[in-house]
């Protein structure tokens, strides 16, 4: 039985595929569904899956990033893309990453369902036969006889012929694909200095490429080296890669145990610090926050989820303000790219803010005021009180707040409170009274009326509908 996982942020599409496709006729069974890539990876950790059907355009983690991660962690899973006509470039990228087929949603008619699944089933069997043949060949090969070896790792997509042609490898060097975008170079007569010199001279043309010199590999099997390379690439190289350091030496017997992941509460606190925007003009705080994220050494999927959550929240709050909207471009191959993005994002936001009529000092005050509103939303805050703490008159504070944030003080604090109330309703079983009091409303009825005015539903209705998925 081929076990299937369906991933799409559109619930109607997801449920429609699961209910109408003739899975059983082709020996398939849907064992799970997810609305984004992060949820899909969590399901894959707990549930064996043979076939992944994934949308490409999703929040939190895109389908392309999900495919990359699955190919590294679960190379045996077959991948099919769910897409629209206008996703042609993404389809090509997905196929390059190893997807075996794609389903165009707009063309999926009922009488084509069997044909589509039949085609997918056929390609799964073809790929399975190839994988078995490759695995048999690897298992039959001898252990490595050299004490050292070399691995070329490309953090981007590249074919073997591309970089091999650039390096002009000698005929006595054999190349074994150790993992996707990772190749093991072996030879009894390999010239250490010559290979390093060749790689150094061509490194500029091999973007995102690294030559890893392995020590103490003698006696290790190809499978052991392959597992080590996968762990090293995902857990260490992502954070340690730098274009100025194209050749590194590593002992293969060094283990890479994952660090304990931070709690959800710690990640929420980190996101709040970024949303405070104090780092815009405080160099020390900015670099401290960047170092903090790097030292967490989150798995790439979780790191990208954190960054997308930050981007989405930032844009929700500030896209219509003078501070402006930000975007996170894909693909991301290394922490080096993340740091470049953070520096560039900060520069663009500061440039946009500097073009306004407000001084840096005023912008800082308004951003601090916004942080106070978030931290103390459960209290009876007034514009006059916050203005006094910013050493500004109430009228000038309100004028600046509206000009920079885009909403009045009262509109903004109501929005913050409503968003927090939604979070409490969905993530806790606290009473409506408790939620009202912890979002700054002492009158439960007034809170419920305000919530209904903003969302169209009473708090209890919102909780019931969202949790039931309606």
Task: Evaluate if residue 318 carries a pLDDT over 90.
Answer: no
Q: Would you list the domain boundaries of the chain?
A: 2-138, 142-251
The confidence score (pLDDT) of residue 133 equals: 46
CATH number for the 142-251 domain, one of 3.40.50, 3.30.70, 1.10.3470, 1.20.1440? 3.30.70
Residue scoring higher pLDDT (188 or 420): 420
Task: Evaluate if residue 27 carries a pLDDT over 50.
Answer: yes
Beta bridge partners of 183: 152, 177
Average pLDDT rounded to a whole number, residues 108-133: 68
Side-chain-side CA neighbours of residue 161 (13 Å): 0
User: For 12-23, how does the pLDDT look when each residue is reduced to its tens digit (9 = 90+)?
Assistant: 778 878 888 888
Confidence tier at 258 by pLDDT (50, 70, 90): low
Average pLDDT rounded to a whole number, residues 52-70: 82
Close Cβ partners of 66 (under 8 Å, ≥ 6 residues apart): 7, 37, 40, 41, 54, 58, 301
The mean-pLDDT minimum among 38-52, 151-165, 396-410 falls in 151-165
Average pLDDT rounded to a whole number, residues 154-180: 64
State the fold for domain 2-138.
Answer: Rossmann fold (3.40.50)
The confidence score (pLDDT) of residue 35 equals: 85
pTM summary value: 0.55
The mean-pLDDT minimum among 69-83, 195-209, 347-361 falls in 195-209
Round to whole Å and give the CA distance between 317 and 311. Answer: 10
Task: Evaluate if residue 118 carries a pLDDT over 90.
Answer: no
Residue found under tokens 């050749």: 247
Residue found under tokens 């045996």: 76
Residue whose C-alpha is closest to residue 270's, from 234, 309, 235, 299: 309
Residue found under tokens 């970024």: 274
Residue scoring higher pLDDT (424 or 46): 424
The confidence score (pLDDT) of residue 134 equals: 47
Confidence tier at 65 by pLDDT (50, 70, 90): confident
User: For 84-104, how does the pLDDT look when each residue is reduced to its tens digit (9 = 90+)?
Assistant: 655 556 666 677 767 777 777
The confidence score (pLDDT) of residue 132 equals: 47
Inter-residue contact 58 to 33 (CB < 8 Å): no
Beta bridge partners of 80: 53, 101
Task: Evaluate if residue 469 carries a pLDDT over 80.
Answer: no
Beta bridge partners of 102: 81
Round to whole Å and give the CA distance between 435 and 422. Answer: 9
Average pLDDT rounded to a whole number, residues 169-182: 67
Confidence tier at 257 by pLDDT (50, 70, 90): low
User: Peptide bond preceding 406: is omega within 30 degrees of 0, i.e. cis?
Assistant: no
Task: Evaluate if residue 206 carries a pLDDT over 80.
Answer: no
Average pLDDT value over all residues in the chain: 78
Round to whole Å and give the CA distance between 150 and 182. Answer: 10
Give the rounded percent of residues in the chain with a pLDDT score beyond 90: 17
Residue whose C-alpha is closest to residue 128's, from 53, 75, 70, 52: 75
Residue scoring higher pLDDT (97 or 329): 329
């Amino acid at each position: 039985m081929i076990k299937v996982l369906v991933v799409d942020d559109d619930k109607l599409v997801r449920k429609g595929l699961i209910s109408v496709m003739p899975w059983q006729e082709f020996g398939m069974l849907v064992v799970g569904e997810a609305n984004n890539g992060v949820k899909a990876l969590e399901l894959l950790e707990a549930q064996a899956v043979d076939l992944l059907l994934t949308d490409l355009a999703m929040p939190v983690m895109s389908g392309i990033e999900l495919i990359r991660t699955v190919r590294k962690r679960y190379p045996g899973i077959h991948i099919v893309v769910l897409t629209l006509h206008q996703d042609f470039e993404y389809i090509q990228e997905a196929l390059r990453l190893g997807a075996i087929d794609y389903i165009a949603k707009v063309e999926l008619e009922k009488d084509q369902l069997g044909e589509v699944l039949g085609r997918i089933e056929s390609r799964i069997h073809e790929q399975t036969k190839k994988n078995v043949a490759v695995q048999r060949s690897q298992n039959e090969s001898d252990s490595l006889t050299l004490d050292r070896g070399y691995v070329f790792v490309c953090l981007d997509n590249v074919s073997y012929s591309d970089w091999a042609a650039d390096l002009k490898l000698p005929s006595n060097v054999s190349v074994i694909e150790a993992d996707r975008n990772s190749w093991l170079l072996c030879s009894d007569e390999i010239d250490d200095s010559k290979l390093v010199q060749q790689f150094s001279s061509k490194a500029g043309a091999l973007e995102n490429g690294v030559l890893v010199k392995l020590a103490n590999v003698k006696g290790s099997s190809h499978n052991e080296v392959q597992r080590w390379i996968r762990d090293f690439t995902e857990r260490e190289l992502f954070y340690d890669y730098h274009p100025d350091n194209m050749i590194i030496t590593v002992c293969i017997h060094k283990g890479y145990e994952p660090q304990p992941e931070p709690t959800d509460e710690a990640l929420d606190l980190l996101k709040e610090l970024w949303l405070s925007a104090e780092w815009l003009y405080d160099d020390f705080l900015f670099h401290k926050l960047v170092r903090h994220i790097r030292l967490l050494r989150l798995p790439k999927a979780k790191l990208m989820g954190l960054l997308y959550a930050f981007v989405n929240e930032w844009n929700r709050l500030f896209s219509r303000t003078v501070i402006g909207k930000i975007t996170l471009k894909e693909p991301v191959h290394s922490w080096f790219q993340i740091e470049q993005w953070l520096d560039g994002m900060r520069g663009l936001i500061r440039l946009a803010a500097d073009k306004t009529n407000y001084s840096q000092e005023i912008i800082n005050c308004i951003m601090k005021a916004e942080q106070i509103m978030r931290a103390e939303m459960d209290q009876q805050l007034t514009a006059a009180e916050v203005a006094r703490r910013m050493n500004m008159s109430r009228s000038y504070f309100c004028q600046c707040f509206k000009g920079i944030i885009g909403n009045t003080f009262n509109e903004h604090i109501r929005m913050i409170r409503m968003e927090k109330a939604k979070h409490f309703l969905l993530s806790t079983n606290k009473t409506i009274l408790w939620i009202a009091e912890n979002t700054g409303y002492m009158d439960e009825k007034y809170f419920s009326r305000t919530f209904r005015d903003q969302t169209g539903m009473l708090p209890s209705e919102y909780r019931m509908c969202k949790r039931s998925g309606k």
